[in-house]
Structure 1
Amino acid sequence: MESTFVIKVNAIIESNLEDEKFGVNELADACHLSRSQLHRKLGELTGKSTTQYIREYRLEKALKMLKNNEATASEIAYKVGFNSPTYFNSSFSKYFGYTPGEYRVRSSLETESEVENTETPSKISKSKILTFSIVGLLVVLGVIFWQSSTTIEPETLDPIEVIATPTNDNVSIMVSVFKNLSSDPQNQYFADGIREDIISQLSKLEGVIIKSDQLPKSNLNVGSSNQSNPIKIEVDYVLNGSVQKFEDDIKVNIQLFDSNTNSLVWTSGFENKFEDIFELEKEISRQIASELDLVLGPDEIQRLEKTPTDNIEAYNLYLQGKYKMFQFKQPDFDEAIQLFYECINMDPNFALGYVGLSEWVLYNFFPNVPEAEFLRAREYINKALSIDENISDAQRVLGVISMEYEWNWNKAETAFKKALELDSNNLYAYINYAKFLRSIKGDFDSALYYLEESLKRNPVSYHAYVLSAETYFMKKDYDTAIKLAEKVLDSSDLGSWKMWAYWIQFLAYAEIGEDDKAVDLLTKSWELGIDSSYNIAPMKEAYKKSGIDGVFQFIVDLDTKNALLARNYQNAYLIAQKLAYLGKFEDAMQWIEKAYERKNSDLYQIKNDPLFNKMHNYKPFLDLLDKMGLGGYPIPIKP
């Protein structure tokens, strides 16, 4: 017998049955309960989540309407509160075991009592098991591997602790790295690609904040970590996944956890052919949206339905190329460019392939992209945008090219803003725009805001933490700069991020006159590298002889020597920095001019780089700023 509370809930849902916007929040308000209180109470009484209960109530009502021939399947979809007949058909089929159309065929052949039996999902599944068993006997030898894993076992997370987020208007989802359960470990690129596509799909939904990227290569565990000093991430939900690819068959398993209740909200498996991968990804995204009680508007549905290419093999090559490129190892890097070329040869209108090519050029020739290569990168990104101007990453890369190489500031800012408008979860669009704001506009507070927005979506982004520390250093808030850099040193196992963090601390302690501490931190930084460790003893000797200026001069001499190696003047900007700090303006200008001639990708930062502060009244320096379109400095008002 149903409890009084369940009867009340049913009556409320019934009175709002056709309202597609009626969901968990509305039901909680009608019951005068909080969302979590409703979830717990309904779970105790029915064993179902609130979202599941509402959806299944709608589906049971739909079945009765079909049984009574009250309307067509599409009309019934809207009558029971589904905003898409396609999604209604999918949900109906998953719950009952057949589509609404198949039900009508069945009902014409079965007796009324048999029809009534079909209303119990568990009984339906038994008939399905028989059918699948017969088919399975015919193909059992070919699918033993395919059936090897249907669930995902959550792992203990190290070193991240997921905690519930305070209530707000947005829904935040942490998407962990998807496991590759294929027998071939090289298929990790495919698991990563599906995860990125699902993130991209979910990012198109209003009110959703995706937290992802740079995460440990494991699923996330909801609840407390056993680590002594974990990074704490506030999030509403955690999405775990695994992917199997066997020949042309794809299988994806998804788990959705509620961090507020430490409970599994929903789990489901999805199977499809490789040629239908985009449909599979869209179906996963729609079901996640449904579980989170997100109402999809017409624009959001249209964005979800969009596919990047009709050529599946071109898409596969693109995923492989992107995966290889971001390994940042030369053999993989060399292979990536060939994969991108093959990708656009298969589909010359595949915009993302050109985005990949453009980024590859910028990474490969950093920090001094030769003019011919820079023009090639620009040509690729313009081609991508001519195919589809509404790709967030294409706009972001356009912004990077405009900022770092063209020095077209208006074009860069427009592109970064467009990238964020198209995808409010584009992590590196936030980072790139923050770099623009602090370096071109000198707007440190706005830059910190965008870095914070990036960290909301990627709480373990060492890049964003280091840039935040550097921005506080630019603001002359040395204590905060030191503390933020320390956060990276405590958390990161990556030597490159630690060296950068140590460098910021070195500069900060040098500015506040704690030179011994500064040299100690520089020593720790150089101990992280085999080559740099050889320079520790002579650096300390220079410090002993000439103080902190001796250290800067030692670094200048070292960088000058390195600049004569294969990539001439690759350190031109960095050498100019130290010379400016030492007050050697003429020498600094020589290296600045070399950086200018070579279009050094760091040169855009020069106006608001604190190491050049002493040159603010030096005319050749001001002329260079004018030549770059950066302008001069405001004249201080005398009291």
Structure 2
Amino acid sequence: MSKTTSTSDFLQKAKALVLEHLSDEQFGVSELAQATNMSRSNLLRKIKKETQLSASQFIRNIRLEKGKELLEATESTISEISYDVGFGNTSYFIKCFRELYGVPPGEIRKQPTEVAEEVIASETTLAAETPKKQGFFSKHTNKIIIAATLVVIVLIVFFWKETKADSPKPTSVQKSIAVLPFKNMSSDSTNYYFVNGLMEASLNNLQKIEELRVISRTSVEKYRNTTKTISEIAEELNVNYIIEGSGQKIENEVLLNIQLIDVTSDTPIWAAQYKHELDDIFSLQNNVAKKITTAIQVTVTPSELAQIEKKPTENLEAYDYYLRGLQPLQTQTREDLLKAISLFKKAVELDSKFALAYAKLALAYFYLDIYKQEKQYTNELNENADKALLHDPKSAESLIAKALYYMNNQEFNLAVPHLEKALEYNPNSAAVVLILSNLYARAIPNTKKYLKYALKGEQLNIQANDSIGKSFIYLHLGDALIQSGFVEEADKYMELSLAQNPNNPYVPYLQIFIKYAQHKSMQKTTEQLIAEWKKDTLRTDLLQEIGKMYYFQEDYENAHYYYKKYNALLDNAEIDIFPHENLKIAISYEKVGAKEAAKKYLDKYVAYCKKDVSLYKSASLAILHLYEGNKEAAIEQYKIFATKDHFQYWIVLFMEKDPLLKSLQSHPAYIETMQKIKDRFWENHQETKKMLQENGLL
């Protein structure tokens, strides 16, 4: 047998094994290696040699190819197909699909020639919207991940399609429940949206109860067609109770079968069959929620009960349009978003006080603008958010809609109270927690609050995700921990992140700086950053850090070399990131004689300082004053900064590494002022530690 034939047989066998375990999202590289009786390293090498793909890419592409076949041959929804082919998260399926095929899944159902013509005719447009991968970052990805990293990525994945409320630690004392996807008993597939609506209404009502931990719809959707037992599902979701249901709509009647299962005994503790008139649908939903809370003995406060009993609308036709709009909203393709908007508009035309429909309209407009530097739908987003708040100011959805407007408008401080209030009305909202953690990470920096919400986000989200999702959640938490000075804890979460996804490119990057906090070797850190950058020379984040390390070491030739590469990528992408680093860039250019470029970046830094309203403004001004030779003004700004709270650990580690501070070391107040800044940080660190321990978060 020839080598080529042998290789072909191997790949065919590997593909057959992946297809055999297609719906099992846990079937990854290790499982494939075991199934082929190969070591993991041998499998990786063999697949790489024969396909030029990593093993994880090889598996993922097989899943995506099958997903494409199902899209073309079946009427299943994108959400259903994503779980059928082993993606635990619909948004991640859509993202990977677009990367492989250049179009979102929803476009595949157009006529093939139509799609081909679109791709050919609008290659430039598609490249702007969904770029082909260029190393780790493409031109567009730089814009999204770096320029819009404050909130956008988190919102894409989690907002109103939240991952489940869960903790990596057993929480058997807390009452927890999962509502499995209801089955459509009708032979009419057009009733699918209605049965989904019954399931989602039951889930939403339960999520309003603080004493009850409720798993989100996204997390349970993967069990729609599962063969797993109730016990197996409960163990995976770490819940005490499971709800199963089936339903259908026949003309003006609703039929619903539902049962509540105690997983400890694997037996139903409550079951009911309902046959109601359609105009009694809301009382049916409320009755189900009350029966369940009574059966599991959960305390429902009066305010929570009021939220549960509140009717979204009195107009059943409007409610029907609303339910029809939810599915296209979830897929997030432009075509489907416009379809969802049309359906939600019909809902509010029939009921002009339908707050929930206005909130979903706001969300749809937000998604339409999500990747655009020039926003087109800000007014529509704001108008619908305002109408949602006007008609239901105590709705979490209304509050989040308004928060989205403020974030879209860069008014982050105004978004926070709306998000915090939304969390009061929906304490199981992982989305709100994650949005808040991201806001406090960058937009309105506060390391204490960032860590608080990052830890809560991990508890709410971790078991809901596939390995890639889990890896990024652990990474997010590790970042929050190191920013607050918890070095050992951050290192632990980096290892957990790598264990979930060894190919997560951000983990080694952050690990380098966590290790620096331990060994304090600038040279070693520089060498490690360069080694990481060589894996993907288009990574602007690494280039900027390498330039900075050489700047700290006063190696301006090398600093200029890497800063020049960094700026070339930014110019090509037409973005300006890390503006607070522009003075270091200006000085590096100046030192090698590039006077004109130096002035360009100095002017940018001065403009940045004028606009800066963050807690770091005084520190930024201090270093500018030092550059200008004004030591007194500099020390005064550092004294101001010494009064600030919850700034990042990086300040303590790197502030005095800046060569400009050498000129300030002879100032009588220098040592005392620097020590006050460090003392302030460690006081905040201890305060944060105490808060986390008291709340069981550390």
Same fold (TM > 0.5): yes
Distance 1:340 1:350 in 2: 10
2:396 match: 392
Contact 1:575 / 1:588 at 8 angstroms: preserved in 2?
no
1:634 match: 642
Contact 1:255 / 1:266 at 8 angstroms: preserved in 2?
yes
C-alpha change, 1:384 and 1:370, in structure 2 (3 Å) is: farther
C-alpha change, 1:181 and 1:551, in structure 2 (3 Å) is: farther
2:506 match: 503
C-alpha change, 1:580 and 1:592, in structure 2 (3 Å) is: closer
Say which of 215, 219, 222 aligns to 1:217: 222
1:272 match: 276
Distance 1:608 1:368 in 2: 28
1:405 match: 409
The one-letter amino acid of 1:303's match is: Q
1:306 match: 310
1:329 match: 333
Distance 2:602 2:252 in 1: 59
Instruction: Kindly report which structure 2 residues correspond to 1:11-160, keeping only aligned pairs within 5 A, or say none.
Output: none
Residue 351 of structure 1: CA displacement?
A: 0.9
1:366-422: CA deviation from partner (whole Å, max 9, x where unpaired) = 25564663233222211211111011122123234334525262x333212211122
Residue 561 of structure 1: CA displacement?
A: 1.6
C-alpha change, 1:412 and 1:348, in structure 2 (3 Å) is: same
Distance 1:615 1:184 in 2: 67
1:240-292: CA deviation from partner (whole Å, max 9, x where unpaired) = 44444455544444343334444443344434344433222112212211211
Distance 1:580 1:269 in 2: 70
TM-score (norm 2): 0.51
Q: Name the one with the larger helix percent.
A: 2
1:587-625: CA deviation from partner (whole Å, max 9, x where unpaired) = 66877999999x9xxx99x7679xx9988734799xxxx
Contact 1:575 / 1:591 at 8 angstroms: preserved in 2?
no
Residue 553 of structure 1: CA displacement?
A: 5.4
C-alpha change, 1:298 and 1:483, in structure 2 (3 Å) is: closer
Deviates more, 1:612-621 or 1:178-187: 612-621
Say which of 417, 421, 432 aligns to 1:429: 432
Residue 237 of structure 1: CA displacement?
A: 2.0
C-alpha change, 1:181 and 1:447, in structure 2 (3 Å) is: farther
The one-letter amino acid of 1:344's match is: V
Distance 1:318 1:620 in 2: 59
Alignment pair present for 1:281 and 2:285: yes
Distance 2:250 2:218 in 1: 27
2:70 match: none
Structure of greater Rg: 1
Instruction: Kindly report which structure 2 residues correspond to 1:385-534, keeping only aligned pairs within 5 A, or say none.
Output: 385-407=389-411, 409=413, 411-439=414-442, 442-459=445-462, 460=464, 462=469, 464-475=473-484, 477=486, 480-481=489-490, 483-484=492-493, 487=496, 491=500, 501-509=504-512, 512=516, 513=524
Contact 2:167 / 2:461 at 8 angstroms: preserved in 1?
no
C-alpha change, 1:551 and 1:272, in structure 2 (3 Å) is: farther
Contact 1:344 / 1:354 at 8 angstroms: preserved in 2?
yes
Gaps in structure 2 of 5+ consecutive residues: 1-83, 89-163, 517-523, 550-556, 588-597, 628-638, 644-671, 676-698
1:562 match: 573
The one-letter amino acid of 1:236's match is: N
Contact 2:355 / 2:389 at 8 angstroms: preserved in 1?
yes
The one-letter amino acid of 1:412's match is: A
The one-letter amino acid of 1:637's match is: T
- Which has the bigger relative contact order, CA under 8 A and spacing at least 6? 2
1:455-513: CA deviation from partner (whole Å, max 9, x where unpaired) = 43333253754532332353365665565456556557xxxxx98x5235424426734
Distance 1:349 1:385 in 2: 10
Distance 2:434 2:331 in 1: 20
1:398-448: CA deviation from partner (whole Å, max 9, x where unpaired) = 234334525262x33321221112221222222222233344554323333
Contact 1:210 / 1:425 at 8 angstroms: preserved in 2?
yes
1:566-607: CA deviation from partner (whole Å, max 9, x where unpaired) = xxxxx44x464776785779766877999999x9xxx99x76
C-alpha change, 1:471 and 1:346, in structure 2 (3 Å) is: same
1:175-194: CA deviation from partner (whole Å, max 9, x where unpaired) = 34444555466655444433
C-alpha change, 1:372 and 1:562, in structure 2 (3 Å) is: closer
C-alpha change, 1:335 and 1:292, in structure 2 (3 Å) is: same
Aligned-residue Cα RMSD (Å) equals 5.0
Q: How many pairs align?
A: 438
C-alpha change, 1:507 and 1:296, in structure 2 (3 Å) is: closer
Distance 1:270 1:327 in 2: 31
